[in-house]
């Protein structure tokens, strides 16, 4: 299991020494190889191409070694770059150097087989792969020695890619054995061809079993296979038809060198792709959105990581639920093994786990960046959810308090005023024949004041929370509101009851829109509709006013939008200048 947040500090000093040693070996081997090539009559262009291939491998390997110290691919690529030049030593007139170049001429091909079969991890994945790699090195060691023992450069002048008529002498040549060179060389090349064929079969099998992320990583290996096949096919053609050696040979060698140079460059492109992936992580939180769903998060992460098999498990724990990670389908996700990368919260508590392709462990920095972005996104979502729940609780508490105040006013002060008015009416009847007109006038004046106070109190209670909304529901409350409006209002409301908060939110939304239509829109008439659509209560108000309403400029509409958002509602305003205003509100109603 992996954990995000690993520290990537300065590389150990010994890694720097190894990199320096690798760079020195590559430079020294390149210089020796260029000298040997020049001794054999190689032109400037040939030497430049040869150096380009070897040093491209070494340079890419050094970068890979530095970026991935635990991955053996980097050292293997450096080894490929160093051994690339060994065969050039056959161009010298120093006997021991000539013998070393002839014996180990194909060592770079053995290293290439090792590199291809273990790419991108740098490690063997099966016993068969290990045995094939060991056999390849053994073929170069034993077969190369056997070939060198019977190789006389003065006799077999076309046995190497170098113009070696004046090369050597060969100190390992066995006297009288030169006649065995052709069958030994043919056997050596045939076995090399067989190794190439087996290697291709092994890589094809790996490709078929690999995930998308692994296939992307294996792409440079396929380029290397193609290059190897070019060399093998060319050798086979020359064995079958030797006289074709002079036709187009230079062009084939040039294309082969260019293709060989592309292999390490392809590897560097793979590294660059990983760095670009890390750049994409910066926009991951924005792309997921403010309210991410598990399915949305998994899809975005799978695209960024290039792993279609990715599973995202979110930590789930509650009353009667044992803590664990579950995916978008409520299926458990394991948090151990090479496929798992845990993401903990800033407090160290479990948050999520990524079940990904094991190939992604080769880029721990990418996983760390994705984990950090995922942590940020999940914690932001949690904070938003907490804030929304808090706001929703406040709205529900305020609505409950409105209803309580309305009941208290209705059952308390309003009832007392009604009783006082009834008592005053009895007093008025008692003093109807009173001779003092001032007494009768005072009673009438008090009765009028009580009536006004009762009406004002009823208005206040209605503004706080209309009783008809509590008793009969949204439709009758909107009809009552229309009768009290300052301008003609037509109401079309489907019968039915909703959650009290939904009803009060819808009611006061219509109150606000009617007030805006009368005060600002200069409307002559308004229509109001309320209907259930799926799991939503849809409220629409349409006026024939001057239009131009804008939520960005009007504090009333902004406050309305905030209130609706607190209960997961949505506000839509369409108000072209001179074309009236249409306000649509959608409220979840279950």
Between the ranges 37-46, 152-161, 436-445, 539-548, where is the mean pLDDT highest?
539-548
Judged by DSSP in three states, 224 sits in: helix
pLDDT tens for each residue of 140-166: 999 999 999 999 888 887 778 777 667
Cα–Cα distance for residue pair 388/398, rounded to 1 Å: 15
CA distance 155 to 152: 5
Give the lowest-confidence range in 140-144, 261-265, 535-539.
Answer: 261-265
Give the closest residue to 510 by CA, choosing from 535, 553, 534, 543.
Answer: 543
Beta strand extents in 256-379 (DSSP E only): 311-318, 321-326, 340-344, 350-355
In the chain, % of residues over pLDDT 70: 71
Report yes or no: 268 and 60 within 8 Å, Cβ to Cβ.
Answer: yes
Burial environment of residue 346 by CB neighbours within 10 A (0 to 12, 13 to 18, 19 or more):
exposed
Main-chain dihedrals φ then ψ at residue 355, nearest 5 degrees: -100, 100
Give the C-alpha separation, 518 to 488, whole Å: 10
Q: What is the mean pLDDT of residues 501-505?
A: 86
Residues in the chain: 590
Could you read off the pLDDT of 577-589 as tens digits, one per residue? 888 899 999 999 8
Sheet of 350-355, strands arranged across:
2-3, 340-344, 350-355, 311-318, 321-326
Residue 128's beta-bridge partner residues?
A: none
Give the integer Cα–Cα distance in Å for 224 and 259: 8
Half-sphere exposure of 334 (CA within 13 A, CB side): 7
Q: Which two tokens stand for residue 112?
A: 């290439």
pLDDT at site 9: 44
Q: Are 4 and 341 in contact (CB under 8 A)?
A: yes
Q: Is the pLDDT of residue 321 over 70?
A: no
- Average pLDDT on 498-504 reads 87
Domain boundaries, the chain: 14-278, 284-392, 473-588
- pLDDT tens digits for range 370-390: 888 888 778 777 766 665 665
pLDDT at 132: 94
Contacts of 554 (CB under 8 A, 6+ apart): 516
Percent share of the chain, pLDDT over 90: 23
Segment 5-17 shows an average pLDDT of 62
Q: Can you give the pLDDT at residue 491?
A: 93
Of the candidate ranges 421-425, 506-510, 518-522, the one whose mean pLDDT is the lowest: 421-425
Q: Can you give the pLDDT at residue 557?
A: 78
> Could you tell me which of 325, 283, 113 has the C-alpha nearest to residue 198?
113
Can you give the pLDDT at residue 586?
Answer: 93
Q: Is the pLDDT of residue 391 over 80?
A: no
Q: With 90 as the cut, is the pLDDT of residue 80 above it?
A: yes
pLDDT in tens, 161-192: 777 667 878 899 998 888 899 999 999 989 98
pLDDT band at 75 (very low <50, low <70, confident <90, very high): very high
| CA-to-CA dists, residue 366 to 277, 354, 362, 363, 586, angstroms | 7, 13, 9, 5, 41
**Is residue 205 predicted with pLDDT exceeding 70?**
yes
Give the class (CATH, top level) of 473-588: alpha beta
pLDDT at 225 over 80: no
Residues 6+ apart with CB under 8 A from 126: none
Average pLDDT over residues 294-319: 81
Sorting pLDDT into bands at 50, 70 and 90, what band is 10? very low
- Who has greater pLDDT, 346 or 28? 28
Which pLDDT belongs to residue 207?
Answer: 77
Residue 353: pLDDT over 80? yes
Residue 556 CB-half CA count within 13 A: 16
pLDDT recorded at residue 390? 58
pLDDT category at 7 given cuts 50, 70, 90 is very low
Q: For residues 95 and 145, what is the distance between their CA atoms, to the nearest angstrom?
A: 15
Helix (H) or strand (E) holding 542: strand 536-543
At 143, list the tokens: 């077969």
Q: Binning pLDDT at 50, 70 and 90, where does residue 27 land?
A: very high
For the cut 70, the answer to whether the pLDDT of residue 484 exceeds it is: yes
Is the pLDDT at 217 greater than 70, yes or no? no
- Cα angle value 518/519/523 (rounded, 5°): 40
Between the ranges 114-123, 244-253, 280-289, 425-434, where is the mean pLDDT highest? 114-123
- Average pLDDT of the chain? 80
Average pLDDT over residues 19-45: 91
* HEC letters along 372-399: HHHHHHHHHHHHHHHHHHHHHHHHHHHH
Query: What mean pLDDT comes out for the span 34-43?
Result: 87
Q: What is the pLDDT of residue 358?
A: 79
pLDDT for the residue 6: 40
**Mean pLDDT across 428-440:** 71
Mean pLDDT computed over 461-476:
76
User: Which residues are within 8 A (CB) of 436 and not within 5 positions of it... i.e. 6 or more apart?
Assistant: none
**Residue partners of 236: CB distance under 8 A and separation at least 6:** 193
Higher local confidence (pLDDT), 406 or 87? 87
């Amino acid at each position: 299991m992996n954990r995000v947040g690993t520290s990537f500090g300065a590389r150990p000093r010994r890694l720097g020494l190894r990199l320096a040693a690798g760079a020195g070996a590559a430079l020294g081997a390149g210089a020796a190889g260029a000298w040997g090539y020049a001794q054999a009559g190689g032109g400037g262009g040939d030497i430049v191409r040869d150096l380009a291939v070897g040093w491209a491998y070494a340079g890419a390997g050094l970068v890979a070694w530095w970026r991935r110290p635990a991955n053996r691919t980097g050292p293997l690529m450096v080894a490929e770059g160093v051994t690339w030049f060994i065969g050039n030593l056959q161009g010298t007139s120093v006997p021991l150097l000539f013998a070393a170049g002839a014996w180990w001429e194909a060592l770079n091909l053995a290293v290439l087989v090792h590199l291809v079969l273990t790419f991108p991890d740098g490690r063997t994945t099966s016993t068969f792969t290990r045995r094939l790699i060991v056999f390849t090195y053994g073929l170069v060691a034993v077969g190369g020695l056997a070939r060198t023992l019977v190789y006389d450069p003065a006799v077999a002048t076309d046995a190497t890619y170098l113009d070696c008529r004046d090369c050597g002498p060969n100190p390992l040549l066995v006297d009288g054995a030169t006649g065995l060179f052709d069958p030994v060389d043919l056997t050596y090349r045939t076995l090399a061809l067989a190794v190439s064929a087996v290697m291709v079969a092994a890589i094809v099998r790996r490709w078929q079993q690999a995930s998308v992320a692994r296939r992307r990583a294996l792409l440079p290996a396929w380029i290397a296979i193609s290059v190897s096949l070019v060399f093998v096919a060319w050798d086979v053609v020359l064995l079958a038809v030797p006289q074709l050696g002079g036709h187009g040979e230079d062009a084939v060698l040039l294309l082969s060198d260019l293709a060989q140079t592309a292999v390490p460059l392809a590897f560097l492109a793979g590294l660059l792709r990983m760095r670009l992936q890390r750049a994409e992580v910066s926009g991951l939180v924005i792309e997921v959105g403010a309210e991410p769903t598990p399915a949305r998060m998994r899809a975005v992460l799978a695209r960024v990581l290039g792993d279609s098999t990715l599973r995202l498990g979110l930590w789930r724990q509650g009353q009667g639920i044992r803590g664990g990670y579950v995916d978008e389908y409520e299926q458990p996700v394991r948090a151990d093994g090479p496929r798992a990368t845990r993401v903990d919260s800033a407090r160290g508590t479990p948050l999520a786990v990524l079940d990904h392709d094991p190939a992604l462990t080769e880029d721990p920095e990418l996983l760390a960046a994705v984990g950090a972005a995922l942590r940020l996104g999940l914690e932001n979502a949690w904070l938003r959810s907490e804030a929304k729940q808090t706001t929703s609780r406040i709205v529900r508490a305020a609505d409950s308090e409105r209803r309580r105040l309305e009941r208290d006013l209705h059952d308390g002060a309003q009832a007392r005023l009604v009783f006082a008015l009834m008592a005053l009416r009895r007093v008025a009847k008692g003093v109807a024949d009173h001779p003092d007109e001032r007494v009768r006038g005072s009673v009438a004046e008090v009765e009028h004041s009580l009536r006004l106070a009762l009406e004002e109190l009823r208005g206040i209670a209605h503004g706080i929370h209309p009783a008809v909304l509590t008793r009969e529901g949204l439709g009758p409350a909107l009809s009552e509101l229309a009768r009290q409006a300052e301008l003609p209002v037509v109401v079309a409301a489907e019968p039915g009851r909703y959650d009290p908060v939904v009803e009060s939110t819808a009611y006061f939304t219509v109150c606000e829109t009617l007030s805006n239509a009368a005060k600002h829109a200069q409307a002559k008439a308004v229509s109001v509709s309320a209907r259930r659509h799926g799991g939503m209560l849809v409220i629409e108000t349409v006026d024939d006013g001057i239009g131009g309403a804008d939520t960005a400029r009007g504090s009333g509409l902004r406050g309305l939008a905030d209130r609706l958002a607190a209960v997961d509602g949505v506000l839509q305003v369409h108000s072209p200048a001179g074309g009236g205003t249409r306000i649509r509100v959608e409220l979840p109603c279950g």
